[in-house]
Amino acid sequence: MTPLKRFYHLLELDKKDIYQIFFYAIFAGLVSLSLPLGIQAIITFIQSGRVSVSWIVLIILVVGGVALVGVLSFMQLRITENLQQKIFVRASFEFAARLPKIKSEELYGTYPPELTNRFFDTLTIQKGTSKLLTDFSAALLQITFGIILLSLYHPYFIVFGLLLFLLLYFIFKFSYKSGLETSLKESKFKYKVAGWLQEMARNNFSFRNELNYDFALQKNNSIVAGYLNYREKHFSVIKKQFTQLIIFKVIITASLLSIGGYLVLSQEMNIGQFVAAEIIILLVITSVEKIILGLESFYDVLTSVEKIGQVTDLALEENSESDSLNDHCYNSISLETENLKFKFPDSPTYALDSITIKIDQGEKIVIEGENGSGKTTLIRLLSGLLRQSSGAFYINDDTFRKINLKQYRSQIGSIIHNETPFEGTILENITFNDPMISTEDLKWALDGVQLSPLIKLLPKGLNTHIHPEGKQLSSSNAQKILLARSIIHKPKVLFYEDPTDTMDEKVANEIIDFITSDKNKWTIIVSSKNPYWKTKTTRKITMQNGQIILDQKKQ
């Protein structure tokens, strides 16, 4: 979809508001262009040397017209403000609703927080759309009505109108493509700069070293140079348009003054008509200038719409409407794969190759293997985070592609590598404000992962606010919060990637004892460097080069 079509679809959502803006613009345009006629009549009265009631009435009407145009402009301002608010709210919920549901393979090779920076283009769309709808609509209507009105004075002015529309057409035709292209490339480097600054902020300690600091500045300089290059190219397009406008204004102004003067001298127009015509011409030229100068906003809006489209175009997970997880699924969940294969988008080889396993409810499984053997990929595929490239995945003897992901995920708990607490209270991080979680279940989870002693020490307890990524917490306490979150709903299956690896050995082993206790009937599938997991699990799967080379159950 082209940026122009995206912008059209965006505006289509608020057609009623836009129609109102155009209605007020038409009305204001008509009133504005009636003012020169009033001025013409006033000058005629002045020339006659007579002061009459009609003269006073005309003055009142002209002043009233100016006030009315102001009122109409204010009404447009109110509508565009509502429109800006709608655009912001709609964009925020579009991002919020999509980000957790984007297919994992769509995010492969990207940094999601950096991708989310595109949301800030919403501000450009807000301001730019408001400017385009009010200024452009008013300017185009003033040009149209002005030319119609001028043609009534003399046919010569029709030529002026045709030249004007030809100018706008050619300026737009020959600069639209290059203007949009340079704007998009400029924006690309703008986000590269923002992304690199974000990396520096995220790893600020690493860049405190003088050598590393110099590297950071050099890289920033390289990216900024690319931005300035395309910014200058974009400005060249704007400069070319403005140069064409200046030349046009000079030619048109000289021509129209000459034509107007000739018509007055030849008595084909009177002085009042000449003054009114010149006022209209000035209004029209000002409107043309407003459109040409506004083209930069037009490019910015189209670029912003395209940038946001990079997020909204990402494919979402498919979720079957069928209730494939029927009642017996809530009592137990068995997982089975048959000749399952998985390949990352840019990889020529399979990360998982010919995986065939069956996992029954209640099994406690540890997955071993060297780095790159496929442990993490297998866990993420079984948890529904990834989808297989080929082969079959069954849950309770039903093909995974038919499974309702919402239902399946409601029955599992997980900790994914590099997952951290989010900004909010400890209680929110564990329960997500689920009203169905009882106080007893919350205490059970906190005690089980040994988080209760920390909560008791905090002045605000569970209502203690956590910074992004749990920065004020120790890494072990951050992991305990994730563990409590994973078990709070007492799920049927737990998927863990290094769940206790930042904890002291004694604490980690005690938590592993709780997680693997026979009192808990959940299935456990874990990958961890902690050897204690091996002593508490009932099955060991060893992987190498994306294949299972050993699947051993304890007797």
Q: What pLDDT, in 10s, does the model give residues 385-432?
A: 888 888 888 888 766 555 677 788 889 999 998 889 999 999 999 999
Is-contact 545 374, C-beta < 8 A? yes
Is-contact 307 115, C-beta < 8 A? no
What pLDDT is stored for residue 328 in this prediction?
42
Condensed to tens digits (0 to 9), the pLDDT of residues 55-91 reads 566 666 667 777 777 777 788 888 888 888 999 999 9
Listed residue (139, 144, 163, 160) closest to 278, CA to CA: 160
What pLDDT is stored for residue 34 in this prediction?
64
Do 273 and 340 share a structural domain?
no
For residue 445, CA distances in Å to 74, 374, 394 come to 58, 31, 30
- The answer to whether residue 48 sits within a structural domain is yes
Give me the mean pLDDT over the 217-224 stretch.
Answer: 94
- The answer to whether residue 320 sits within a structural domain is no
Residue 221 has which token pair?
């300089």
Give me the mean pLDDT over the 218-245 stretch.
Answer: 90
- The answer to whether residue 262 sits within a structural domain is yes
Condensed to tens digits (0 to 9), the pLDDT of residues 464-481 reads 999 888 888 899 999 999
Quote the CA–CA distance of 344 and 105 in Å, as a whole number. 7
The residue that leads in pLDDT, 192 or 242, is 192
Domain span holding position 181: 3-312
What pLDDT is stored for residue 11 in this prediction?
83
Q: Decide which of 289, 312, 335 is a domain's last residue.
A: 312
Report residue 545: phi and psi, to 5°: 50, 40
Do 332 and 307 share a structural domain?
no
- The answer to whether residue 318 sits within a structural domain is no
- The answer to whether residue 429 sits within a structural domain is yes
Residue 379 has which token pair?
């866990």
Q: Decide which of 282, 312, 342 is a domain's last residue.
A: 312
Is-contact 400 406, C-beta < 8 A? no
Do 306 and 333 share a structural domain?
no
* Per-chain mean pLDDT for the chain: 84
Read off the pLDDT band of 537 (50, 70, 90): very high
pLDDT at 324 over 50: no
- The answer to whether residue 438 sits within a structural domain is yes
Do 304 and 180 share a structural domain?
yes
CATH number of residue 399's parent domain? 3.40.50.300
Radius of gyration of the chain (CA): 34
How many domains are contained in the chain?
2
Q: Decide which of 312, 339, 364 is a domain's last residue.
A: 312
Do 356 and 282 share a structural domain?
no
Do 275 and 336 share a structural domain?
no
- The answer to whether residue 11 sits within a structural domain is yes
What pLDDT is stored for residue 332 in this prediction?
82
What pLDDT is stored for residue 431 in this prediction?
94
Do 446 and 359 share a structural domain?
yes
Contacts of the segment 67-70: beta carbons below 8 A, 24+ positions apart: 68/28, 68/31, 69/28, 69/31, 69/32
What pLDDT is stored for residue 330 in this prediction?
56
Q: Which amino acid is at 11?
A: L
- The burial class, CB within 10 Å (0-12 / 13-18 / 19+), for 100 is exposed
CATH number of residue 212's parent domain? 1.20.1560.10
What pLDDT is stored for residue 233 in this prediction?
92
Give me the mean pLDDT over the 272-294 stretch.
Answer: 77
Residue 113 has which token pair?
């927080």
pLDDT at 27 over 90: no
Do 293 and 201 share a structural domain?
yes
- The burial class, CB within 10 Å (0-12 / 13-18 / 19+), for 345 is exposed
pLDDT at 326 over 50: no
Q: Which amino acid is at 26?
A: I
Do 482 and 347 share a structural domain?
yes
Quote the CA–CA distance of 112 and 310 in Å, as a whole number. 12
Is-contact 502 476, C-beta < 8 A? yes
- The answer to whether residue 322 sits within a structural domain is no
Do 493 and 402 share a structural domain?
yes
Going through 263-346 in order, the beta strands assigned E by DSSP cover 335-342
Do 265 and 197 share a structural domain?
yes
Do 437 and 514 share a structural domain?
yes
Quote the CA–CA distance of 180 and 57 in Å, as a whole number. 50
